[in-house]
Amino acid sequence: MAAPADMTAGNMSGKFILNKAQSEKNDEILKNQGVGWVTRKAATHATPHLAVKHYKDASGVEHVEVEQAVAGSTVSEHRVLDSSEKAIDSPLVGPLVQRNRRVAAGELGVDWLKEGWLAESFVDGGIIHVTADSDAGKSDGTWHMEQLVGGQKKYVRRIHCVGQKGEVVHGCMVYDYEGPL
């Protein structure tokens, strides 16, 4: 289902489900991040449901809290869009350093990350940009609203992933809107 017409990247709060038919190269991205075959197959056969809580705190700092439910287990992540680096232990890819922020389109070095946005993807001139560095490789991506075939607005995560040996994979995760939190 399409996201509501009034949903913007300033508040992407809601419930979403991965649309596998519209998503691209998720298995290749996981492989490039060093995830083993069995885990990749389990991950690509599962259908994640997201509960996204997107807000600004009392200081005006933007937060995105995501609870991802897959096959009876739930993984939570809390991203603060303040440009700071944060070491985490990802259940899927292991230890990594992540950075979350808003950037102007011109600050993105990869053309793939600059495609498909709707105007409401920008807040104060910036789009959500996330990076993750690990021993297996580096990825960066944008989280935004995108107009897809058929005119439906969707929550999309575009990903540019570089593996340990320099292998580059571009992919995206497209989410259908399921309703409010």
Question: What's the pLDDT score for residue 119?
Answer: 85
CB neighbour class for 152 (10 Å; exposed up to 12, middle 13-18, buried from 19): middle
Question: What's the pLDDT score for residue 52?
Answer: 98
* pTM, full prediction: 0.93
* Alpha carbons 133 and 99: distance in angstroms, whole number: 9
CB-based contact 177:1 (threshold 8 Å): yes
Question: What DSSP string runs through 14-75?
Answer: EEEEE-TTT-B-HHHHHHHTT--HHHHHHHHHS--EEEEEEEE-TTS-EEEEEEEEETTEEE
Question: What's the pLDDT score for residue 44?
Answer: 81
| Neighbour order of strands in the sheet with 62-70 | 73-80, 62-70, 49-56, 14-18, 168-179, 153-163, 137-147, 127-134, 94-103, 85-90
* Closest listed residue to residue 160, CA positions, set 138, 136, 127, 128: 138
Question: What's the pLDDT score for residue 125?
Answer: 84
Per-run averaged pLDDT (10 residues), the chain, 181 residues: 92 96 92 88 89 97 96 91 95 91 94 89 90 93 87 94 94 96 97
Share the mean pLDDT of the chain. Answer: 93
Question: What's the pLDDT score for residue 91?
Answer: 82
- Exposure b/e, 52-80, CB count within 10 A at least 16 = b: bebeeeeeeebebebbbbbeeeeeeeebe
Domains identified in the chain and CATH numbers = 14-179 (2.40.128.20)
Question: What's the pLDDT score for residue 11?
Answer: 94
Question: What DSSP string runs through 115-176?
Answer: SSB-GGG-BTTBEEEEEEEETTEEEEEEEEEEE-GGG-EEEEEEEEEEETTS-EEEEEEEEE
